[in-house]
Amino acid sequence: IHFHTMGALDYLSNFCDTVSVNTTTIKKTNRKAMQTVEIKVRMDCDGCERRVRNAVTSLKGVKSVEVNRKQSRVIVSGYVDPNKVLKRVKSTGKVRAQFWPYVEQHLVHYPYAYGAYDRRAPSGFVRNVVQAAPSNHQEETLVSLFNDDNVNACSIM
């Protein structure tokens, strides 16, 4: 009887160890990744700016908050959920807040293409729209004119 009871206790203790290992594993996988969330929100005065800054600063996991009133831009870095950051900004009464829709102008191929140019964008920024990459077809044609492998190529003497 003594062996049988001891075996049951060993079995139960193994079970308890397994449960505790699994819960720590679950906790580790739920941790948010460090990221930067950018929000476009119009702030007309110091009060607006202060309300928005305080709202996002108090969020759990926030490491830094940068507010640029001139660009209507709030940049939040930390272990945060982007949707919670946006929801918190909207909770200050800024219901038209949205994720930052712009990229720097020099990062796109055609900054004045339809859909990319936005007169409300801050200086040097355009809307982040999908654009076709420029074709290198002309360059390839010119290079092949002087290629030794091309039988019809021009020769330079």
36 forms beta bridges with 77
Mean pLDDT of the chain: 77
Q: How confident is the model at residue 59 (pLDDT cuts 50, 70, 90)?
A: very high
Q: What is the amino acid identity at position 38?
A: E
DSSP 47-80: HHHHHHHHHHHTSTTEEEEEEETTTTEEEEEES-
* Residues 16-51 pLDDT 10s: 544 444 444 445 546 778 999 999 999 999 999 999
| Position 141 pLDDT exceeds 50 | yes
Highest mean pLDDT of the ranges 12-26, 54-68, 103-117: 54-68
Phi, psi of 60 (to 5 degrees): -65, 135
The model scores a pTM over 0.95: no
DSSP state of 45: S
- Given a contact cutoff of 8 angstroms between Cβ atoms, the answer to whether 64 and 78 are in contact is yes
| Position 146 pLDDT exceeds 50 | yes
145-146-151-152 Cα dihedral, nearest 10 degrees = 40
| Position 85 pLDDT exceeds 60 | yes
CA distances 63 to 10, 17, 50, 76, Å, are 45, 35, 17, 8
